[in-house]
Amino acid sequence: MKHASTVFPFHRVIWLNCLPSPRNEAKAGRTELIPSIKLRHCCLLRNQRCVVAYLYDRLLRIRALRWEYGSVLPANIRFHMCAEELQWFNQYKKSLANFMRSVGGGDGLDITQDMKPPKSLYIEVRCLKDHGEFEIDDGTVILLKKNSQHFLPRWKCEQLIRQGVLEHVLS
């Protein structure tokens, strides 16, 4: 007798002959099982299509999260993702960053900005929570404290608006 830890080689032909299939059942003279086997097979294929469609939909939603929240997901969203989905998100994030660096010269081009065409280059924003110092391109440092209002370049504060730090004040 062989040890329980011994792994036997996989024989595909023997394995296929053990499965109930219409051919095997017809050879055995049990033709009454053929419709049941075909129905089971169709059900399995349908279930497989449904699972693949569900996973693809989740993949599209995870990809949309990168565009909505940026490169860092909130904890409550990460909590509902499995390890493989987080790994896919990180890989997508890296691929997108590599693409943005390769486009637009030395500094690259941030294609996640200005998801909607701006009506004006500067907008009025209100700070929803304490964020600390924020530097704009001309070197001006602005202190973002809760309930303070500022007139800032749209492209500089759009990411903070998506993160929930700032809110666009509509006049």
CA–CA separation, 15 and 11 (whole Å) = 6
CA–CA separation, 8 and 103 (whole Å) = 53
1 band by pLDDT with thresholds 50, 70 and 90: very low
Mean pLDDT of 8-13: 50
Tell me which H or E stretch contains 36. Answer: helix 34-69
Query: What is the percent of the chain with per-residue pLDDT over 90, rounded to a whole number?
Result: 25
User: Is 50 exceeded by the pLDDT of residue 6?
Assistant: no
Kindly list the domain boundaries of the chain, sorted by start residue: 29-102, 122-168
The pTM score is 0.55
Domain 29-102, CATH: 1.20.58.1030
With respect to CATH, is domain 122-168 assigned 3.40.1350? no
More confident residue, 110 or 94: 94
How far apart are the two ends of the chain, measured CA to CA in Å?
A: 85
Q: What DSSP letter does each residue of 97-157 carry, written as one string?
A: HHHHHHSSSSS---TTS-SS--S-SEEEEEESS--EEEE-TTS-EEEE-TT-EEEEEHHHH
